């Protein structure tokens, strides 16, 4: 959304695309999972009078819209990419096929995984963890609006302290909500380290990929 109250901010999309292209040019195989909260949030459906499963599917479709916007921005700056959707819609995106996704990555293309897991009641975080496990990712990077994982909400409490490193178990036990419990559990079971960092700081994606100590590292 950028500074908007709703929808897509083209300037922010171009910025994100530029950050991703910088990592892609390093020769890093990069898959991207995009949320859809700027358009529709399934978890807020009760207040809207929409049944939860239906609302979650609406949220998944919102992620496809965002994925297409990101793909367009990437292609516009010379970065080859593919959108794969967990909900089949062949006119706008490839269906998600694990082996095809891996092949795209091997060819240097950025793969954008859209439509979550294709199932209601699962978050975008869980989709990211699932895809990371399926493609044997070395690390899951969670780009967010804050600098890392805090012991309390830093937006609401100025006394909040950021963890530089924390275990999967402590994230779950302390109910820190950096990612939902299913996503964290999937990463723990598959030994995928997670780095949470601020997307708004230029160069952070590249720094995270290059192993610099930014944000919060979650591992065993």
Q: What is the pLDDT of residue 40?
A: 87
- Enter the pTM of the model: 0.94
Q: Which tens digits make up the pLDDT trace of 83-112?
A: 999 999 999 999 999 999 999 999 999 999
> What is the C-alpha to C-alpha distance for residues 205 and 119, in angstroms, rounded to an integer?
28
Q: What is the pLDDT of residue 155?
A: 84
Q: Using 70 as the pLDDT threshold, list the residues of the chain that sit under it.
A: 42-47
Question: In order of start, what are the domains of the chain with their CATH numbers?
Answer: 1-137 (3.40.1160.10), 138-220 (3.40.1160.10)
| CA distances, 116 to each of 37, 61, 62, 119, 184 (Å) | 12, 9, 10, 7, 16
| CA distances, 73 to each of 9, 15, 40, 129 (Å) | 12, 9, 21, 25
Q: What is the pLDDT of residue 45?
A: 61
Q: Reduce the DSSP state of residue 153 to 3 states and report it.
A: coil
Tell me the H-state helices in the chain.
Answer: 10-24, 45-48, 52-76, 98-106, 124-134, 168-173, 181-189, 204-209
Q: What is the pLDDT of residue 47?
A: 58
> What is the C-alpha to C-alpha distance for residues 169 and 157, in angstroms, rounded to an integer?
24
Say which residues have a Cβ less than 8 Å from residue 175's Cβ, sequence separation at least 6. none
DSSP run (H or E) holding 158:
none
- Cα dihedral value 182, 188, 190, 192, nearest 10: 110
Q: Which residue from 213, 212, 210, 143 is spatially nearest to 178, judged by alpha carbons? A: 143
């Amino acid at each position: 959304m950028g500074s908007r109250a709703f929808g897509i901010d083209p300037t922010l999309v171009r910025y994100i695309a530029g950050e991703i292209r910088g990592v892609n040019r390093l020769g890093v195989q990069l898959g991207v999972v995009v949320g859809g909260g700027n358009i529709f949030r399934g978890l807020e459906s009760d207040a809207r009078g929409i049944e939860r499963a239906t609302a979650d599917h609406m949220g998944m479709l919102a992620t496809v819209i965002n994925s297409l916007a990101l793909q367009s921005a990437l292609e516009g700056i010379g970065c080859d990419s593919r959108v794969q959707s967990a909900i089949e819609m062949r006119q706008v995106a490839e269906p998600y096929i694990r082996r095809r996704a891996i092949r795209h990555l091997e060819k240097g293309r950025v793969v954008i995984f859209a439509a979550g897991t294709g199932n209601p009641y699962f978050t975008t975080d869980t989709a990211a963890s699932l895809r990371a496990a399926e493609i044997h990712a070395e690390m899951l990077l969670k780009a967010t609006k804050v600098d890392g994982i805090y012991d309390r909400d830093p937006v609401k409490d100025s006394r909040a302290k950021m963890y530089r490193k924390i275990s999967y178990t402590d994230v779950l036990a302390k109910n820190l909500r950096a990612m939902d419990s299913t996503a964290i559990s999937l990463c723990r079971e598959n030994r995928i380290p997670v780095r949470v960092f601020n997307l708004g700081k230029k160069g952070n994606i590249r720094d995270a990929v290059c192993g610099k100590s930014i944000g919060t590292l979650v591992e065993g």
